[in-house]
Structure 1
Amino acid sequence: MASNAAGAGKQLQIIFIGDSDVGKTSIFKLFENHEVFQSPVVTIDAQTIERNIVIGPPYETVKLYIYDTAGQERFRTFTRQYFRNADIAFLVFSITDGDSFHHIREIWIKEIADNSREGDIEMILIGNKSDLADERVNPLSTSKQFADQYEMRFIEMSAIKNDDFQKLYDVLKEAVTHVIIKKKEGGGMKKKIKIINNDEPAPRDDKWYSKCRI
């Protein structure tokens, strides 16, 4: 759906990916209506919204097609079709779930590398559920280091805090601006994604169990 033709470049496709129960749909709902969405729902079919964003100067409007894809493993084949034309990917994990962080590298970045256009996709790392800081198992410094290794933008946020939408909007605007500039230059956005295996793992707590609030 997103256009990549030279001179067009005013439409971008954005996907949310990550494990189930990390809050992707709740963040997606912030884009949809700026309302907090706290009911836990398993996303089976991809949901789509269209939004315009103004970048610049020089000021120009970019139409965004934003997809909330299914995160559960049994649906992964279904979501691969959305990787192929994606320009930007939000990779979402929960700061209270060490496995969801590890799966960003072990599963989701590999999925992007294998299924996107030569790895040509802008990635944004989101550590969700910052409202549960007392249950944190993934240190902020570890997340920042990981994002730096993959040249990703990174934010921590809570999808149940309306004020955090501005963080999300600002980092997306930066990414959209970067992608549009690269398209105008006629080149690829990034080099092919390399899977890095030597980073320090986030601490795991085998006794941790999901207390999903969003």
Structure 2
Amino acid sequence: MRILIIEDDMNLREELKILLDDSGYDGIILPSFENTKEHILKINPDLLLLDIKLPNINGQVLLKEIRKESDMAVIMLTSKNTEVDEVLSMTYGADDYITKPYNPVLLLLRIEALFKRMKKTSENLSYKDVKVNLLKSTLESRDKELLLSKNEISIFYYLLMHKGKIITRDDIINYLWGNDRFIDDNTLTVNINRLRKKLEEINLKGVIETRREQGYILI
């Protein structure tokens, strides 16, 4: 699970990354606070740890803007300990809220609990009467269970989470492999074509459309 850290305290964010990496997560630090929302949406982490007090922008306002485009999991981090901040954070769409200084064990427990809730939710995913089982990496129709590869289920899930919206090739590549690795552009094409062929086996033909010079869309 990739966890993006948005924290202006350099020492604290470094400590957070070490804590997350040592606990089996992939901690990612966003060092710059220019075009913050765009960077967050491009990285598209499994979880966002978002500080309320940031340079040039309020974390709660940033959260409100993110929620217009993404339902990624968000835990707010703040040194403020008031009910107003907690209520505002939850109203704007935070999944959880924790005050600083926090107990590292408590933070890890909150993260684990949030991911468990997300897994339960994912078990109820469906598309056109086809059940999407992320844990088993399958698509289940009434009369067939279709087994997908890790990349295939990831691509389908990512498109499903943005159903009806055009997703660029770069966004999908970054979601699958991260933006710090060189991936041959043809690799994504191969995975998309394999996924399309498999979807035809459960009568989902033509549901992933290519939009020239834009990307892909799940209709």
What's the TM-score, normalizing by structure 1?
0.47
Report 1 or 2 for greater relative contact order, CA contacts < 8 Å, sequence distance ≥ 6.
1
What's the TM-score, normalizing by structure 2?
0.47
Q: Which has the higher helix share?
A: 2
Give 1 or 2 for the bigger CA radius of gyration: 2
